Amino acid sequence: MPWLKANPFKTGDQRALMALAIAADMEGDFQTSDKAYELLLAQSTDQATLFNNMGYSYMLRGDLLKANSYLAEAERRAPKNDTIRNNRKMLKQVSPL
Q: Which residues fall within 8 angstroms of residue 94, CB to CB, at 6 or more apart?
A: 59, 64
d(CA 78, CA 45): 13
Predicted confidence at residue 5, as pLDDT, reads 57
pLDDT at 57: 98
pLDDT in tens, the chain (97 residues): 344 456 888 887 899 999 999 999 999 999 999 999 999 999 988 899 999 999 999 999 999 999 999 999 999 999 999 999 999 999 999 887 6
